[in-house]
A and B are shown apart, each in its own frame.
Chain A
Amino acid sequence: EAGVTQSPTHLIKTRGQQATLRCSPISGHTSVYWYQQALGLGLQFLLWYDEGEERNRGNFPPRFSGRQFPNYSSELNVNALELEDSALYLCASSNQGSSYNEQFFGPGTRLTVL
């Protein structure tokens, strides 16, 4: 069974540009979660989507947004990029959209903002 996949593996942008990151969950999983892991910092929860709806978001500005498609894949968009947005962005999926369920992570997208 294929795991969570993310693309691209690496992304280099300049300040002020927009970045789009993509995530495909494990087959059968309806929930997708996005996290940011900046260098030297812990994972910070960004967004949670389930069945196409945003269920919760972390303490991030509105320029971090996303969506979930009917096939449960998801996009994370970061507008007006700032240098401090450079980080590893991790996507996770779980089934049934419950806080009780185990999360499975993808390999991440390394975003570098110059």
Chain B
Amino acid sequence: KQEVTQIPAALSVPEGENLVLNCSFTDSAIYNLQWFRQDPGKGLTSLLLIQSSQREQTSGRLNASLDKSSGRSTLYIAASQPGDSATYLCAVVTGNQFYFGTGTSLTVIP
């Protein structure tokens, strides 16, 4: 069974800092990997989707990479802002099943 782990569980950084969030998965046979953000008590907002054949995707200050062979993905956030404070979740699709990590709670301090 696929297991998705996100480390660290919580992260606090000063505004302006660049940061990296990590996601690891145990089964490398994935169709895609998607990064989301979730604000407290709200639904998920899709940030980036990486297909299994891709190595990275970029959107604005966000860059996500995928290394299937090692079972890892990273989400890089450049020049962090207080508005980036949220929980960040990664999810993988394996065999028509969807598996989510438990998230990294990010706080950006002004």
Contacts and interface: CB of A to CB of B under 8 A. Distances in A.
A104 B100 CA distance: 14
Please report whether the interface of chain B is mostly helix, strand, loop or mixed according to DSSP. strand
B102 A88 contact: no
B49 interface: yes
A29 B58 CA distance: 24
A99 B31 contact: yes
B100 A42 contact: yes
A107 B32 CA distance: 23
Q: Top 6 closest A-B pairs, CB basis?
A: A43-B100, A105-B44, A42-B102, A105-B43, A99-B31, A107-B43
Interface in B21-61: 31-32, 34, 36, 41-46, 49, 51
Contact of B46 (A6, A102, A110): A102
Contacts of A104: 46
Given A56-B96, A58-B97, A108 B34 contact: no
Contacts of A44: 100
Interface string A99-114: 1101111111010000
B16 to A, nearest CB: 29
What size tier do the contact residues of chain B reach? 20 to 34
Contact of A88 (B41, B51, B91): B41
Contacts of B102: 41-42
B99 interface: yes
Contacts of A90: 43-44
A106 B36 CA distance: 13
A105 B46 contact: yes
A107 B44 CA distance: 7
B93 A99 contact: yes
A81 to B, nearest CB: 21
A102 B44 CA distance: 12
A3 to B, nearest CB: 9
A104 B47 CA distance: 10
B81 to A, nearest CB: 22
